[in-house]
């Protein structure tokens, strides 16, 4: 059972970002990384809000519903800013004191994600997820991804994959023998 409301998660990410807020891509990556950091320590998901495969890496699925609702209720502000010759949406928490706050484990995951993301560009974060995210690499654009795959250590993941291949071979043999 998810422990954290997605709205509270976004608010805490934006609080951690400070008064300058975050661009959309960086917000998406911080949301994703908070889920991965949480999954490394806990068996349940941080939130029940889906994370989708997007061309630039994992992102908040149906973000217009979540972020648009937060903008309409006044919990976040959104402005269009220049990023060099390009325009980007920048999100800020409207009232730093708003919301309930997160429990210890969720707050720790957000702090780790924010610390990891804040000194990197959106392009760097996208590149990192393209290289390392098993969930993102195994999906097609628009698919909801399982971020818990990205929390599994590489050696353990390979062991699980080998075990699944052995089970698949055994099932194929059993099914083949039953048809004969």
Measured in Å, how far apart are the chain's first and last C-alpha atoms?
Answer: 45
Q: Does a structural domain hold residue 129?
A: yes
pLDDT of residue 160: 66
Question: pTM of the prediction?
Answer: 0.84
Report residue 157's pLDDT band, with 50, 70 and 90 as the boundaries. Answer: low
Q: Does a structural domain hold residue 176?
A: no
Q: Does a structural domain hold residue 23?
A: yes
Q: Is the pLDDT at 11 greater than 90, yes or no?
A: yes
Q: Does a structural domain hold residue 87?
A: yes
pLDDT digits (tens, 9 = 90+) for 122-143: 999 999 999 999 999 999 999 9
Residues linked to residue 59 through DSSP beta bridges, in sequence order: 52
Q: Does a structural domain hold residue 169?
A: no
Q: Does a structural domain hold residue 108?
A: yes
Q: Does a structural domain hold residue 120?
A: yes
Residues 80/3, Cβ–Cβ less than 8 Å: no
Range list of β-strands (E), 34-164: 51-54, 57-60, 76-83, 86-93, 144-145
Q: Does a structural domain hold residue 170?
A: no
120: helix, coil or strand? coil
102: helix, coil or strand? coil
Number of domains in the chain: 1
Report residue 173's pLDDT band, with 50, 70 and 90 as the boundaries. Answer: confident
| Beta-carbon-side half-sphere exposure of residue 130 (alpha carbons within 13 Å) | 10
Q: Is the pLDDT at 88 greater than 80, yes or no?
A: yes
Domain that holds residue 71: 6-151
DSSP single-letter state for residue 149: G
Average per-residue pLDDT for the chain: 88
pLDDT digits (tens, 9 = 90+) for 15-28: 999 999 999 999 99
């Amino acid at each position: 059972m998810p422990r954290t409301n997605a709205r509270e998660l976004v608010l805490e990410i934006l609080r951690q970002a400070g008064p300058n807020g975050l661009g959309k891509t960086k917000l998406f990556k911080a949301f994703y990384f908070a889920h991965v950091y949480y999954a490394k320590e806990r068996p349940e998901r941080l939130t029940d809000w889906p994370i989708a495969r997007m061309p630039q890496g994992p992102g908040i699925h149906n973000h217009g519903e979540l972020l648009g609702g937060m903008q309409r209720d006044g919990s976040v502000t959104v402005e269009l800013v220049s990023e060099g010759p390009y325009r980007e949406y920048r999100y800020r928490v409207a009232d730093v004191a708003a919301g309930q706050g997160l429990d210890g484990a969720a707050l720790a995951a957000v702090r780790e994600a924010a610390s990891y993301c804040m000194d990197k560009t959106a392009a760097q974060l996208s590149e990192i997820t393209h290289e390392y995210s098993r969930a993102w690499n195994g999906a097609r654009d628009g698919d909801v991804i399982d971020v818990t795959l990205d929390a599994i250590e590489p050696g353990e993941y390979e062991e699980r994959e080998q075990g699944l291949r052995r089970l698949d071979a055994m099932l194929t043999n059993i099914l083949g023998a039953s048809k004969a």
